[in-house]
Amino acid sequence: MIRRSALLLLLFVPLVMTGCSDGNSSAPPSTQAHPFDWYTAHRPVATASPEFVDCTGCHGVDLMGSGGAPSCFSASFDGRSCHAGGPVPHPMDGTFLSGSVHGPEAKADLTFCQICHSDNPTGGPGSNPRFNQGIDSQGGTGCEACHPANAAHPAVWAGPTASAFHYSAGNIQAACALCHGTSLDGVGGAVGAVICLDCHAETTNLTLDCTACHGTPPGATETVDHGGVSAITSHDVCTVCHGMKESAAGGSFSPTANYTLFDKATDTQGDHWDGNINMNSGTGYNETNYGCDTALCHGNDAAHQLSDSGLPVVLDAYVAGGAPHPVGADWLLPSGHVAAAAASCLSCHVADGSGTAPSCLTCHQTDPLTTVVACESCHSAPPSLASTVLADRPNRAGNHNVHATLTVDTGNCAACHSGAGTNTLNHFDTTEPANVQFLATYNAASAAAYNATADTCSNVSCHGGVTTPNWNTGIINVYGDSTAGCQQCHKASGETNSYVSGEHSRHLAVSTITCLTCHDTTALQTGSAGNSHFSGLSTAAFELDPQQTIRTTLGYNGTTCSTPGCHGSQAW
């Protein structure tokens, strides 16, 4: 009986199960692993699975489909659009939300984000899309969960910051033009979008316009009015103080070696837009009074001080010494400062001596701007200053005037200053005394020489090899001092110009007859045929025949002399 009851119970259970149960309308078909609403419900499950590992078992490791499981990137599946754009191009584990991770990608090309996260994924320049789509973890508000509307980049994007700067943004003509106008001129741009032409001179190469931030140089309307300081020509180039200036062509920078510029390749911000003001340590910039302590051109005074910029100061050596030109003897040569534009000198080197740097008249005898001359620019021709002090060269007169007025030959500076041309440091010598070097033409029996201590010359053929009187105080009175004057150059010793010929010794030593008793001073000065006593000093020959200098009353015919009251006709 028990067995029969059990058998009937077993037969009844299937009837109950089949008769009392209904099918599960939510269960997936036998050919699917997901419920019907999985199309919208799969996102949190999928994103919770690191690298979608829970999905790859059926959909393939690349999620491109495997076996009967479809690709997650089909353009259409069961009448529904899926991830038609392909795999998500960034991690989905939340790390991409960090600005340091997604920022470089967005900066390189903002259209990278537009495809998935904008309300106009296919809009081009001027479409002004909002980036407010997707990102479930951020409430589905897209980029606007962190970024303001219509501003899919950092809030501080065009100003000084070390981490985010638009200079290295990529695909500018397409990405930036989404919101800043089709021509980047702001026309038709998004609300609040800046006009690129406010800072850039043009929008093809995006060259810079310095006046967008400050004048060149900054004027009265700027935070720091450079005023009279910027009016100084050397300051106007910016480099002398700040290490860089605008390039000659404009639109870019011309820096010194120590000044770092933007580097788009490495996303380096550089020195110009880092929130600091760069000043030249070579000029001794003083952060207390905003002047320069060691500028070679001027002192630290009120006329050369600015106001406080309020920016942190970064010092670096940009221009050595602070002068806008080389400093040293070489610069003083004609090939140096003479070749430079004279007008640019006046801001520091005022000709009349009222400037803050050495006056032009420290060296020049006349204003070099108004009187363009040769030697006379630094000293008179000949030098004319009466001083006998060595330091008063190059215009110390000495006996220059006497030599220069004798003949053209002696007016030749090279006769005594050989090897000291106007473009050599021998000519512009900052040490005293002046360089005196005679041409070999003027050597007497031995080489001509100058004694700077005694201020005398020796072994000069012009002076008969006799040591000259003092250059500054000595006098040789040829025409009025009788024998004494003549003997300062003519000796009876056999040297050049000696009077040992004929009967000179008898007349001078025995009879004590003076030189001017026989020689006519007028003839010595005027000579004949254009030659005088001092003609042709560079040659050993007599340009003026000595016979022409004998007084006519002496009856000298070149061979004999017959002098009434002295002697009859006798051979010389």
pLDDT tens figures, 144-181: 888 888 777 887 777 666 567 787 888 888 999 999 99
Q: Kindly tell me the number of DSSP H helices and DSSP E strands found in the chain.
A: 13, 8
- Beta-sheet strands, E only, within 297-345: 313-316
- The total of structural domains in the chain comes to 6
Q: Of the residues 416, 445, 475, which one is the last residue of a structural domain?
A: 475
Cα within 13 Å of Cα(543), Cβ side: 18
* The pLDDT of residue 2 is above 50: no
| DSSP annotation of 411 | T
Based on the fold, state whether residues 383 and 470 are members of the same structural domain.
yes
Based on the fold, state whether residues 357 and 421 are members of the same structural domain.
no
Based on the fold, state whether residues 319 and 333 are members of the same structural domain.
no
Backbone angles phi, psi at 443, to 5 degrees: -70, 140
Q: What is the pLDDT of residues 206-236, one digit of tens each?
A: 777 777 777 777 776 777 777 666 666 566 6
Based on the fold, state whether residues 419 and 405 are members of the same structural domain.
yes
Based on the fold, state whether residues 501 and 461 are members of the same structural domain.
no
Does 185 map to a domain? no
Based on the fold, state whether residues 138 and 159 are members of the same structural domain.
yes
Based on the fold, state whether residues 470 and 486 are members of the same structural domain.
no
Q: What is the pLDDT of residues 121-152, one digit of tens each?
A: 889 999 999 998 877 677 778 888 888 887 77
Q: Of the residues 339, 357, 373, which one is the last residue of a structural domain?
A: 373
Q: Distances from the Cα of 294 to the Cαs of 57, 280, 283, 422, in angstroms?
A: 76, 11, 5, 31
DSSP lists the bridge partners of residue 528 as 531
Q: What is the pLDDT of residues 544-556, one digit of tens each?
A: 888 888 988 888 9
Based on the fold, state whether residues 244 and 265 are members of the same structural domain.
yes
* The pLDDT of residue 5 is above 60: no
pLDDT band at 336 (very low <50, low <70, confident <90, very high): confident
Contact 122, 145 (CB under 8 A): no
Based on the fold, state whether residues 415 and 506 are members of the same structural domain.
no
The pTM assigned to this predicted structure is: 0.46
Based on the fold, state whether residues 219 and 286 are members of the same structural domain.
yes
Contact 92, 153 (CB under 8 A): no
Q: Of the residues 427, 458, 475, which one is the last residue of a structural domain?
A: 475
Q: What is the pLDDT of residues 254-303, one digit of tens each?
A: 888 888 888 777 777 788 877 888 888 878 889 999 888 877 667 788 87
* The pLDDT of residue 13 is above 60: no
Q: 563 by DSSP, 3-state: which?
A: strand
d(CA 361, CA 376) in angstroms, rounded, equals 12
Q: Identify the pLDDT of residue 152.
A: 78
Does 102 map to a domain? yes
Does 3 map to a domain? no
Does 20 map to a domain? no
Does 24 map to a domain? no
Does 29 map to a domain? no
Structural domain harbouring 105:
95-178
Backbone angles phi, psi at 521, to 5 degrees: -65, -30
* The pLDDT of residue 190 is above 50: yes
Based on the fold, state whether residues 451 and 489 are members of the same structural domain.
no
Based on the fold, state whether residues 368 and 384 are members of the same structural domain.
no
Does 461 map to a domain? yes
Joined tokens for residue 290: 């905003």
Does 90 map to a domain? no
